[in-house]
């Protein structure tokens, strides 16, 4: 499991935003992964996607690394942020914008506002 752990650590430290998901950002393979990738894509966030279905070591390893039982998992500047429910709540409350602002991650503020307007 050390190899997966090392690979995960290198990935989350080398990229500002990382989404461990089922499938890819272009073709998510579960509804929860699709929802988070959709938010990030719509907001124009540049991020690294990691398809956990392609590697069982990573699939289990990320759960152990974060001590979080589900996929997807979002990391910003090396810190675990949360899964689908948390990202959805943070998007709707504006907390995700604040996190991106605080961490220096670029995103489309107008797109974020449109998501909130559509879900108001």
* Annotation: binding site: 30
Could you give the count of Cα atoms lying within 13 Å of 56 in the half-sphere of its Cβ?
Answer: 0
Among all chains, which residue has been given the structure tokens 């124009």? 44
Q: Which residues are annotated as a binding site for [2Fe-2S] cluster?
A: 30
25 neighbors 75 (Cβ within 8 angstroms): no
* Strands (DSSP E) found in the chain: 17-21, 48-51, 73-76, 79-82
């Amino acid at each position: 499991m050390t190899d997966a752990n090392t690979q995960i650590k290198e990935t989350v430290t080398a990229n500002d935003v990382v989404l461990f998901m089922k499938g890819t950002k272009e073709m998510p393979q579960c509804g929860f992964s699709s929802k988070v990738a959709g938010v990030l894509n719509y907001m124009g966030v540049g991020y690294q996607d990691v398809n956990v279905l392609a590697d069982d070591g990573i699939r289990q390893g990320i759960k152990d690394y974060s001590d979080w039982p589900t996929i997807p998992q979002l990391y910003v500047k090396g810190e675990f942020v949360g899964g689908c429910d948390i990202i959805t709540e943070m998007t709707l409350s504006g907390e995700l914008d604040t996190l991106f602002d605080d961490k220096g991650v670029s995103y489309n503020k107008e797109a974020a506002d449109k998501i909130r307007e559509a879900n108001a």
